[in-house]
Amino acid sequence: MIRMEDIKAGFIGAGGIARSHAFALQAMKFYYDQAPEVNFETVCSATPGKREKFAKQFGFARAEAEDQFFKNEEVNAVFILGPNQVHFPHLERAMKMPAVKYIYIEKPVCASFAEEQAMWDLLETVRPDVKIQVGFQFLQSAAIREALYFWKSGMLGEPIHFDLKYYHGDYLQTSYREKRKTRLAPAPEGGAMADLGSHGISLLLAFFGSQLQIVHAMQSGHFDDVPPGSDLFSSISLIDPVNRSSGHLSASRISSGTGDLVELEIYAKKGTLKYCSHQPDQFRFYLEETGEWVTRNVGSNYLPLSSFPSGHVSPGWLRAMIHAHYLFLGGTDERAFNPDLKHGLEVQRIVRETADHLSAFRNQIKEDGKK
């Protein structure tokens, strides 16, 4: 067994998502026999009190201001977990840290078209010993991992059409919107498609490839305290120009009673595949040849790597994040899809184009209202 490299982790950000990353890194050794030794070296955030409290609570050796953080020569793994608008500048600076070999960047990878273009250029300068991974942890949920592996076996044949939904309902509440004003920034920096839909786009690109193209978008839902450029519900139409399959992806922050709903349906020439996060332990498929539906129970199995605590128990959202960190820090999984920076930029392209289509949609609605 090859021993994985010891990690000296540096966090940029000390909010809720940073807490989830701290948990996943600490828990990794319970799930995998081969796991790196992770040392929490430093955490930085814009608020001194917040970073100091985070460091004390989760065992970081120090809390630093941003300029100090990027001068730290001990850190070899940077986790970019701050607000969306600073992801790109933090990535630029992290890549210049001499000891850094791992950079984990939460989605979206950037907040503007100019940054997107600059990041493509940045890809050409990444040192070969540096691994960059984007925070599309949903790809690493046990059932999605197995469903993707099954889909790529070709048993269902070529796709014909598809549908993906990612729905929440929390933003129906005024108090919830009030606490999260920064997430209501105009698209592509904010909005349901950037925040939730980007996970859906990531899934579709993993299943179908980066050639997917957007052809139409629309949005709905209006609240006086939400800028019109920030979508609360949006739906996009997509087409695969290679095999001519097409489908829809919708993202919502205002769908009452949905909880955390991710639902994927793929209809192909030889059958159908379905996944729903309300039944996170399984996926289902139908075969034209047999005329039968089959339920594939997955549970917490990441075989042959891990099935802790047991293969038949529900995995939970954080389990996917633990597996994402295992892959990020050197673990090998032939069934996994690794969302590298190129994948993150391919997702960002569709998020940006969605924003353009939504702007045209709003203008059209406004013109129609004048008639």
Of 109, 7, 13, the residue nearest 345 (C-alpha): 109
The residues of the chain scoring below 50 in pLDDT are 1
Range of the domain at 206: 139-313+340-358
Phi/psi of residue 26, nearest 5 degrees: -70, -30
| Whole-number Cα distances in Å, 96 to 130, 179, 185, 282 | 11, 34, 29, 42
Total number of domains in the chain: 2
**Residue 233 and residue 345 in one domain:** yes
Which CATH number goes with the domain that contains 172?
Answer: 3.30.360.10
304 prior amide bond cis, ω within 30: yes
**Residue 151 and residue 82 in one domain:** no
**Residue 12 and residue 83 in one domain:** yes
CA distance 282 to 80: 32
Domain endpoint, select from 81, 106, 131: 106
**Residue 165 and residue 285 in one domain:** yes
Has residue 153 been placed in a domain? yes
Has residue 43 been placed in a domain? yes
**Residue 209 and residue 253 in one domain:** yes
Give the pLDDT confidence of 275-292 residue by residue, as tens digits: 999 999 999 999 999 999
| Whole-number Cα distances in Å, 216 to 319, 346, 350 | 35, 18, 11
3-state secondary structure of 146: helix
By the 8 A CB rule, do 57 and 78 touch? Answer: no
Has residue 214 been placed in a domain? yes
Has residue 202 been placed in a domain? yes
Domain endpoint, select from 59, 86, 106: 106
Has residue 73 been placed in a domain? yes
**Residue 48 and residue 91 in one domain:** yes
**Residue 54 and residue 179 in one domain:** no
Domain endpoint, select from 106, 129, 147: 106
**Residue 194 and residue 244 in one domain:** yes
**Residue 276 and residue 206 in one domain:** yes
Phi/psi of residue 323, nearest 5 degrees: -65, -35
DSSP, residue by residue, 163-195? EEEEE--GGGSHHHHHHTGGGGSSTTTSSHIII
pLDDT, residue 130, reads 93
Tokens of 16: 């809720």
**Residue 149 and residue 251 in one domain:** yes
By the 8 A CB rule, do 247 and 162 touch? Answer: yes
**Residue 243 and residue 144 in one domain:** yes
Q: How far is CA 206 from the centre of its chain?
A: 12
pLDDT, residue 1, reads 45
Which CATH number goes with the domain that contains 75?
Answer: 3.40.50.720
Q: Which residue has the tokens 């929490």?
A: 40
Contacts of 147 (CB under 8 A, 6+ apart): 264, 273, 275, 283, 296
CA distance 24 to 251: 26
Has residue 205 been placed in a domain? yes
Has residue 229 been placed in a domain? yes
**Residue 225 and residue 98 in one domain:** no
pLDDT, residue 371, reads 63
Has residue 54 been placed in a domain? yes
